[in-house]
A = this chain, B = another copy of it.
Amino acid sequence: MLETVDLSLKLSKQEYREAFEPLSIRLAELQREARAAGVPVIVVFEGWQASGKGTCINRLTNVLDARGFKVHYTIEPNEEERLRPWMWRFWTKLPPRGAIAIFDHSWYRRVLLERLDGTVSEDEWRRAYDEILQFERQLIQDGAVIVKFWMHISKKEQKRRFKRLEKDPALEWRITKTDWRRHNRYDDLLAAVEEMLQRTSTAQAPWTVVEATNKRFARVKVAETIIAACEQGLQRAAIQNEAPAVEPVEPPDRSNPLSRVDLSLHLERDEYQQQLNELQDRLFHLEHEIYTARVPVVIVYEGWDAAGKGGSIRRLTRGLDPRGYEVVPYGAPTAEEKQYHYLWRFWRNLPKAGHITIFDRSWYGRVMVERVEGFCSAAEWQRAYQEINEFEAQLAAFGTVIVKFWLHISKDEQLRRFEERQAVEYKRWKITDEDWRNREKWDQYERAVSDMIQRTSTVYAPWTIVEGNCKLYARVKALRTIADAVEAALKHAS
């Protein structure tokens, strides 16, 4: 989930002041409301060393009533703690109902630093995942709000910060040899973080990745996320033991990956034709290798209406042997399909080992059209992120190559294409009233797509956003992404 993160996000001092002041007022209010409602709030900060956890916590607690929160700084377990089951030290630090506990590092240390440093056995950190999930489930069912942050900076940025701290005589003590050793193993820890984010992002206690290069940006995002989580927790408490389908309170979307797509990317026709020929040739040979190596391939096409899914899929399949692939288009579920869990109709059409299935729209309908149009309850689409990650993890564990495209175009470009479709007779069948209606909800859809990409982009099934204003560029990018992913998997399998 970390590869979709844009670490250049920032706020100016002016923007920060304007954003943070109302947030701090709301935070203080929520602290009082949580106390009155008896809702315990648990805030977890994990993140890179020097990512700014400390100052961020400091700014937060400045606005809170000191009688109602406690900050716990989690380092190596002490002697007393080592003499008990490892979760003991967190159980005994839980906030009572109505109070706030902030953990600077937490139980996740076990699957991060302790795992990295080898101070726990593989058996222990593997089992820790179960124990963590049990712990959080038990607390949430008991009414707790759990908010979890991963404070993210790049390796380069961490190095810069370490050096700066070392230059300051007052702060140099903060950077130790251990910190540098861990810095050098940035990529190892990154892989562990990815696994942690995937395995422990549940519907009720999801992780929020915070772009922490700019501290002002980080603080605002953290405050907004806590506010949204508390509001949701308070709603849950209010209708306690009733409707689990709470209308979600959305924090603002500060990290929309669509906002940084460069839609000016394009390709000239002659260059396109040459690259397309090469790619189709490459894919033709890869299809055969897939078959011999018994590798299953899943390709998902999602995108705006008129973004060019159909054209892209045609360029992909043109060169392929039809015995090796299948295109499965999905629209609204049929009456029969509605009789099953929403994933059922996709499970049915999984490729056999050695084959390719191209999904023209997919299970992501649940968190896009079904969410936006209200075809499912909030509880249903909220838990769907986890369900989808679990589903794709099962495919990946079987060795499946998973490629997922979001074909992106601008709102203006969509309008141009819609109008063209309406004007040109042989294209008119492609445009319906529904397309125009969906277009009116562009912002809601964009939010849904942004959440989807952030929450379901995984190492084993990453999203690729395809810049689609230029169809030629988009087609070539999609085909190249597939060829590269398949080649990498074949290399890995052999």
Contacts and interface: CB of A to CB of B under 8 A. Distances in A.
Contacts of A87: 347, 394
Contacts of A354: 83
Contacts of A442: none
A375 interface: no
Nearest to A354: B83
A245 interface: yes
Give this chain's copy count: 2
Nearest to A337: B96
B350 A85 contact: yes
Interface stretch (A135-143, A267-275, A478-486): A135-143
Contact of A395 (B85, B294, B379): B85
B243 A352 contact: no
A348 interface: yes
Interface string A28-60: 000000000010100000000000000000000
A266 to B, nearest CB: 39
Contacts of A97: 338-340
B390 A83 contact: no
Interface centre among A91, A296, A351 (most CB of B within 10 A): A91
A344 B85 contact: no
Given A339-B98, A352-B84, A397 B344 contact: no
A97 B344 CA distance: 12
A452 interface: no
19 contacts: A40-B340, A80-B352, A85-B350, A85-B394, A85-B398, A88-B347, A91-B344, A91-B347, A92-B348, A94-B344, A96-B339, A97-B339, A131-B390, A138-B343, A138-B387, A141-B383, A142-B342, A144-B341, A241-B379
Interface of A: 38, 40, 80, 82-88, 91-92, 94, 96-98, 127, 131, 134, 138-139, 141-142, 144, 241-245, 294, 296, 336, 338-344, 347-348, 350-354, 377, 379, 383, 387, 390, 394-395, 397-398, 400
